[in-house]
């Protein structure tokens, strides 16, 4: 069982927006603004797409945005494209001896 809880799957049609949630506790997501998100296509390494809850690394499309409320962080993808179909993982710093924890991942299907 992963430390952070994500929905197993979400789907949307091209052009639509979707949101993926990532729920933790006050010891991780809720306690720090150190949430990141990764995109992973099948058979590929993860790609870094969001850090510090809302920031996008250079080169990442502005269709990707992050937010947080309490113990839940969210990733929103607007203007869905076929290439967005992938697995998405959230991650958070934790004040425990585990240092950093990941969510279980969410499979995004573009219909």
Partner 1 sequence: EVQLVESGGGLVQPGGSLRLSCAASGFTFSIYAMSWVRQAPGKGLEWVSGFSGSGSGGSTYYADSVKGRFTISRDDSKNTLYLQLNSLRAEDTALYYCAKDLGSSWPVYYFDYWGQGTLVTVSS
Strand-pair category, 64-69 with 18-23? unpaired
The answer to whether the beta carbons of residues 64 and 58 sit under 8 Å apart is no
**84 φ, ψ (degrees, to nearest 5):** -80, -10
* Per-residue interface string for the shown chain with partner 1, residues 50-89, x marking contact by CB under 8 A: -x-----x-------------------------------x
| Count of residues engaged in binding partner 1, rule: CB under 8 A | 22
Q: Strand, coil or helix: what is 84? A: helix
Give min distance, CB of 63 to partner 1, in A.
19
Give min distance, CB of 83 to partner 1, in A.
19
Judged by CB under 8 A, the residue of 84, 91, 108, 110 near partner 1 is 91
The answer to whether the beta carbons of residues 15 and 25 sit under 8 Å apart is no
Q: Give the list of residues 6+ apart from residue 58 with CB closer than 8 angstroms, or none.
A: none
Which 15-34 positions form the footprint of partner 1 (CB under 8 A)? 34
Question: Is there binding between residue 104 and partner 1 (CB under 8 A)?
Answer: yes
Question: Which residues of this protein are in contact with partner 1, per CB under 8 A?
Answer: 2, 34, 36, 38, 45-48, 51, 57, 89, 91, 93, 97-105
């Amino acid at each position: 069982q992963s430390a952070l809880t994500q929905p197993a799957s979400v789907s949307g049609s091209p052009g639509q927006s979707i949101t993926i949630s990532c729920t933790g506790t006050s010891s991780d997501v809720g306690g720090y603004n150190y949430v990141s998100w990764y995109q992973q296509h099948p058979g590929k390494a993860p790609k870094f797409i969001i850090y510090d809850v809302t920031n996008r690394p250079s080169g990442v499309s502005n269709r990707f945005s992050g937010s947080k409320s309490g113990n839940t962080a969210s990733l929103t993808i607007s203007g869905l494209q076929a290439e967005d179909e992938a697995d998405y993982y959230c991650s958070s710093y934790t004040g425990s001896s585990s240092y950093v924890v990941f969510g279980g991942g969410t499979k995004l299907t573009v219909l």
